[in-house]
Chain A
Amino acid sequence: MDHRQSRTPASQRAPARRMTHHHPTDHPDAVLTFDDVVLGYGDFTVLTDVNARINPGQVVALMGGSGSGKTTLLRAATGQIRARQGSVRVFGSDIAGLDEAGLRAVRQRMGVLFQQGALFTDLNVFENVAFPLREHTQVSESQITERVLDKLDAVGLRTAAHLSVAEISGGMARRVALARAIVLEPELVLYDEPFAGLDPISLGITARLIRDLTTRLRCAAVLITHDVQESFAIADHVYMVGQGRMIADGTPEALMASDDAFVRQFLRGEPDGPIAFHYPDSPAFREWLDRHRQAP
């Protein structure tokens, strides 16, 4: 099933490549750009040499294994963490240079779907989706009702509007969170693992919804995911993250045809290759093990 619409034919697209300092699809109005970005927490560097560009109307997938730093990229895009080096630009503004008001203004133009949904547990389903409208707009109650029910209808949960968050399943909660992320019809939507925990039907519908919404609103969508099949079906461009950096990027077709060992191992789920299954050994682990063994 291919949900992509009005996209460049595969034959005209560039082949997948190892990441260098380039921007694969330059666009004067890029919504989100990473330029030579280094990200980390405390003393720990998570990602280096991150270069990416997301344009309006594009669905871009950021892929990589668990713990590869995908969510860190999302946190950098929302201004939750600052780049140690390089610049992250959202709607043309360097996010590191924004004051509190500037950051709020930028965030009002983006929607974020959190990995666990992050629904407000003191509000019911309807009020969760209505939350951004109540906080950022002055629209009437009847308009709020109409817009919220419309978005809930899009995720198949119109008739669950009255339920409390405790009464819905994990998969439903993620769909409600998706409705909340798009209710203001933002220019950039960041989806953190949008397909995790969804049943096959919801998964297909969610993928199509992301694609349709991106095309209809001409917004940009960034999918943080490791679901190859669904994300490749809707993405215009894919960036692959691993080994502390961005390893490859290209169109889904180009990456599928890639001979790169990392790309092949990840896409085919092979046990052997450059991606190690085992967590790397460290002096801290050996020190702990010595202490543990010496303990009575």
Chain B
Amino acid sequence: MMPFSRAIARLGAITQGSIIGLGAFIRLLGTLLARSGIVFRRPGLVSQQVHFLGNHSLLIIAVSGLFVGFVLGLQGYYTLSRYGSEQALGLLVALSLTRELGPVVTALLFAGRAGTSLTAEIGLMRAGEQIAAMEVMAVDPLRRVLVPRFWGGVIAMPVLAAVFSMVGIIGGWIVGVLMIGVDPGIFWAQMQDGVDVIDDVANGVIKSVVFGITVTLIALYAGWTAKPTPEGVSRATTRTVVLGSLAVLGLDFILTALMFGN
């Protein structure tokens, strides 16, 4: 009985801890939104973060987008050619990227590249007493440190997703049109005809904004609650990637069901 009761107690503790953690996470979101006035008073702080999170992620996003586009071009042509529908390759590449792969893969890469750097930065700031120093200087670290980073991530993420999709489409065009020989006019015409700005592009943008909020918030929360030790920061960065990726994939399913359910 003892091991059983210990297991129950442990399950209870894990459940309680998860609920408390979720509550703290949502409270952090509320606090960041409530203290977002600094974004308008000092927009330079946000643009710095957009540069740090966005520009520094640009290369990995663009290269990944290109290769995903290559693969989509190859796989799409292989599948479509079995049914004699090679002319729909442009549409398939564009819809796959704008509706699904652009926001999702960008968010996963964003969690690994920008999310971990955010978590490590905040965690190390705590470990180095920088957050305490700010508090003692009568500067609110949530407002001064977390809010600009939060909005920097929320702004950077949809832009990066758009870059990913654009480069991916170019990758699909390189493979489909230049290498395989699909007719370029049909490739672009099918895409222009079949991609809807609201249903496809706007929904993709909405997804990327939601993922941007989620991943950035998880990264900031992990850094903010990290133990101020090397091991604590290391665990927090791992948590950012694991929780961020799972959250993106889970939310993607829910958003896809809501947006494209009919």
Query: Interface residues, chain A, CB within 8 Å of chain B?
Result: 78, 80, 103-105, 107-108, 110, 112, 114-116, 118-122, 131-132, 135-136
Provided the pairs A121-B125, A122-B121 are in contact, do residues A114 and B138 lie with their beta carbons within 8 angstroms? Answer: no
B136 at the binding interface (Cβ < 8 Å) = yes
Segment of B28-36, B127-135, B214-222, B239-247 in the binding face = B127-135
Q: Which A residues touch B124, using CB under 8 A? A: 121
In the bound complex, CA of A135 to CA of B138 (Å): 9
How far is B144's CA from A127's CA once the two chains are assembled, in angstroms? 14
A114 touches B144 (CB 8 A): no
Q: Are A132 and B129 in contact (CB under 8 A)?
A: no
The number of residue pairs between A and B whose CB atoms lie closer than 8 Å in the complex comes to 48
Q: B64 to chain A: closest CB distance in Å?
A: 27
Report yes or no: B132 in contact with A80, Cβ–Cβ below 8 A. Answer: yes
Known: A121-B125, A135-B144. A112 touches B138 (CB 8 A): no
Partner of B139, one of A78, A116, A135: A135
User: Given contacts A118-B128, A120-B130, are A78 and B136 in contact (CB under 8 A)?
Assistant: yes
Interface residues of B in 129-175 (CB under 8 A from A): 129-130, 132-133, 135-140, 144
Provide the main secondary structure of the chain B interface. Answer: helix
Give Cα distance in the complex from A78 to B140, angstroms.
Answer: 14
24 examples of A-B residue contacts, CB within 8 angstroms? A78-B136, A80-B135, A103-B138, A104-B140, A107-B135, A108-B137, A110-B136, A112-B133, A112-B136, A112-B137, A116-B128, A116-B129, A118-B129, A120-B133, A121-B128, A121-B130, A122-B121, A132-B139, A135-B137, A135-B138, A135-B139, A135-B144, A136-B138, A136-B139
Q: How far is A78 from B137 in the complex, measured between Cα atoms in Å?
A: 9
Residues of A near B132 (CB, < 8 A) are: 80, 114, 118
Contact pick for B138, options A108, A116, A118, A122, CB 8 Å? A108
| B136→A80 contact, CB < 8 A | yes
Q: Which residues on the B side are within 8 Å of A119 (C-beta)? A: 130
The total of chain B residues at the interface (CB under 8 A) is 15
Residues from chain B with a CB closer than 8 A to the CB of A103 are 138
Return chain A residues, CB-CB under 8 Å to B133: 112, 114, 118, 120
Residues from chain A with Cβ under 8 Å of B144 in the complex: 135
The complex places the Cα of A119 from the Cα of B132 at a distance, in Å, of: 11
B139 partner residues in chain A, CB cutoff 8 A: 131-132, 135-136
User: Shortest 8 CB-CB distances between A and B: which pairs?
Assistant: A118-B133, A107-B138, A118-B129, A104-B138, A108-B138, A112-B136, A78-B136, A135-B139
